[in-house]
Structure 1
Amino acid sequence: MTAPLTAPSTFPRTGKIAFQGDLGAYSHQACVDACPGMEPLPCRTFEDVIAAMRTGAADLAMLPVENTTYGRVADIHRLLPESGLKIIGEAFVRVHISLMALPGVEIQELEKVRAHLVLLPQAASFLSKYNIRGEAAADSAGAAAELAVSGERSTGVLASDLAAEINGLNILARHIEDHAHNTTRFLVMGHEADLTRRGDHGMITTFVFQVRNIPAALYKAMGGFATNGVNMTKLESYMVGGSFTATQFYADIEGHPDDAHVQRALEELRYFTSKLEIIGVYPADPLRSEI
C-alpha cells in the first residue's frame, strides 16, 4: 500500500464519505488516508457525489480540485458554489502509479495497459522501456475491476496499489510515474461550516466572487489583499451562465475571516464585487508547504 501523504485525520471517524470513481480510485485513496474510519461510497459522477450529500446517503464528500501535473479538475469550481456544501478540510494524495496484472502474469507477457487518459503519459518512459502500448479507459480503478474478471493475460492496468488490493491483482512495478512530485489536492466537503476551528498550521479561506462592471474592478478588488498582507494562494476565473461577459472568480487565501487583516481585505473586496460567497474556512493541511 502506498504510504499516505495526508496528515493524521481530524475528520469524523464514522459514517459514509462519497467520492467519484470506483473502489480503488485515487479519490478512494484520499478517503482512506483522511477519514480511515468512514465507509467509502463510490459515485459515478461529481454530481452524484453532491446528490449523495443532499439526500443524506453520505455524511462527507471527497472532491479533487487540482493536480500538480495537469492543473485544476474540470467542473469542480463550477459545482462547488452551486452545491450548497462547505469545504471543511483539505487532503493531499501523492499519485503513485503501479503496473498490475492477473496473478502469475510476467511483465514480458503484457502487450498493452489500460488506464485513465491522464495517467498514461505520466508513465510514458516506463511503458516505452518495455514496449507496452497504452489504451485509454474511462477510469483506472474501473479498468482494474474489469481486468480481474476478464482473464486477459496480455493486458495490464495502471492504477493505485489500493485498486490492485481490492481486485486481487498482482503488482508488477510500483512508482513508475515519470515525475515523483505528482500530487492531487482534495477538498473534504460537509453540510455546515465550523468557524470556531483554528489549525496548528494556519487557516485557509476559500471564496467565489464576481466583480462589479466598472473599469479595473479586479485590479482594485485585489489591492486590499496586498495592502493588508494577506497571501492569496489561488485565483482562477471561469465563465458563468454561458456568457463571455459574466466571469466568476475562485480564490484561496491564507487566514481566517475573523483575523483583522483578512477582515479588512474582504471588506475592500466587497466594495468592488456584485457577489461574494465564502464556501470554506478550514485548517491548512500541515503538508501543504511540502508540495
Structure 2
Amino acid sequence: MTTQRTGVIAFQGDLGAYSHEACRNARPRMDVLPCPTFEDVIEAVRSGKADLAMLPVENSTYGRVADSHRLLPQSGLHIIDEAFVRVRIALMSVPGRKLEEIRLVRAHLVLLPQSAGFLRSHGISGHAAADSAGAAADLARSHAPGEGVLASEIAADIHGLEVLARDIEDNAHNTTRFLIMSREPDPSRRAERMMTTFVFRVRNIPAALYKAMGGFATNGVNMTKLESYMVDGNFTATQFYADIEGHPDDANVRLALDELGYFTTHMSLLGVYPADPRRFG
C-alpha cells in the first residue's frame, strides 16, 4: 500500500544527510527537498516550494550550529516542533570492499573528531568534506580505492554503498536537536509539556540582562537556553535568543514575559511548540 504524501519538507544537504534522517523520522509522510544552504532551506519555505523547514540548531557534542542559528531571528518563519536525532555514525564504502582495506575516510568536519577513537585504532585517516552524504554520492560514482565515508546509514541505502562498521562514534549519547519551521505559527497547546522560543534586546541600563532574567527565576520558569547575537556588527548592541519550558498562556510564563518587557526594547516569539520527549531523557 502506497503512503499518501502530505507536503514537502526542506533540509540542507544531500539525500542521506542527518537532516534527511530527521525529516524521515519526524515527518515520514512528507516529500523531501534537499537544498545547498540553510538560506536556501528558509527561502524554499518562504516562496512556497516547501511547506516546512528542518534546521539543526545544536549538537550535544560540538554545540550550536552557528550557520543556521544566526538565521532564525530574521527568517520570517515560525518554530512549530523540535526533533532530537541520535547521531549514529556508520563507515561505508563500495560493495565488496573490506574494512581492513580502508585507509582514508571522508566526512563532514564535525563527524571526524566524533569517531576519532575508531579511526585511530584502525589506522584510518580522516579528510573533511563539505557534506557527508555528498561524499557518499561521490564515492559511489568514483569507486576510489581504499576510501570510505562516514555518514548516516540512510546514505548507504540511497547511494548503493555497503556499511562496514556501525555506531563508531566515541560518544554514545551524541544527539542533534532540529527545529521544524513553518510560514505560519501554531501556538496551540498540543502537548502537556510545551516549549517557547523568543528573541529580545535589553535596554541600555546597568544590569539590564540580570534584571530581565529575574522574572523567570522568581516565577519558576526553567530557561533551557540563552544565546547572544551581535546586532548589525555592532559591539554595543546585542540580541538574545532564549528557550523556556512552558506555554505563554501559563500563569508563571505570562508573568515572566510581562516582567521581561520592562527591561527590553524589543521582544518577539519565534515559536511555541511541543517539547520532544527525548529532551527529558
**TM-score strictly above 0.5:** yes
Task: Return the alpha-carbon distance in structure 2 between the equivalents of residues 86 and 112 of structure 1.
Answer: 41
CA distance in 1, matches of 2:190, 2:59: 26
Q: Secondary structure at the match of 1:90?
A: strand
Cα separation, 2, equivalents of 1:269 and 1:23 = 42
**Other structure's SS at 2:233 match:** coil
How far apart, CA to CA, are the structure 2 residues paired with 1:52 and 1:177? 33
RMSD: 1.1
Displacement of 1:77 in angstroms is 2.9
Q: Distance in 2 between matches of 1:244 and 1:171?
A: 48
The correspondence of residues 99-178 of structure 1 with structure 2, limited to 5 A, is 99-178=91-170
Find the counterpart in structure 2 of residue 214 from structure 1.
205
Superposition TM-score, scaled by structure 1 size: 0.94
Kept in 2: contact 1:101–1:153 (CA 8 A) = no
- SS class of match (2:66): coil
1:221-251 CA-partner distances (Å, limit 9, x unpaired): 0000011111101111121100111111000
Q: Which runs of 4+ in 1 moved over 3 A?
A: none
User: Structure 1 residues 56 and 284 mapped into 2: Cα distance closer, same or farther (>3 Å)?
Assistant: same
Indicate conservation of the 8 Å contact 2:200/2:267, yes or no. yes
Please, which of 271, 274, 279 is the counterpart of residue 283 of structure 1?
Answer: 274
Question: What's the secondary structure of 1:250's corresponding residue?
Answer: strand
The aligned amino acid for 1:119 is: L
Note if 1:258 corresponds to 2:249: yes
Q: Distance in 2 between matches of 1:215 and 1:77?
A: 28
TM-score normalised by length of structure 2: 0.97
Identical aligned residues as a percent: 71
| Count of paired positions | 278
What is the distance in 2 between the residues matched to 1:258 and 1:86? 18
Query: How far apart, in 2, do the equivalents of 1:266 and 1:248 lie?
Result: 16
SS state at 2:235 partner = coil
Residues 264-285 of structure 1 show CA distances to partners (whole Å, capped at 9, x for unaligned) of 1001001100010010000111
CA-to-partner distance for each residue in 1:22-66, whole Å, 9 max, x for gaps?
Answer: 000000000000000100100000000011011100000100010
In structure 2, distance between residues paired with 1:80 and 1:66: 13
**Are 2:68 and 1:76 aligned?**
yes
TM-fit CA distance, 1:13:
5.9
Which deviations, in whole Å up to 9, do the C-alpha atoms of 1:201-225 show, x marking residues without a partner?
x000000000000000000000000
Gaps of 5+ in 1: 1-11
Shift of 1:124: 0.8
Contact 1:17 1:62 in 2 (8 A): yes
Would you say the 8 A contact 2:114–2:169 is kept in 1? Answer: yes
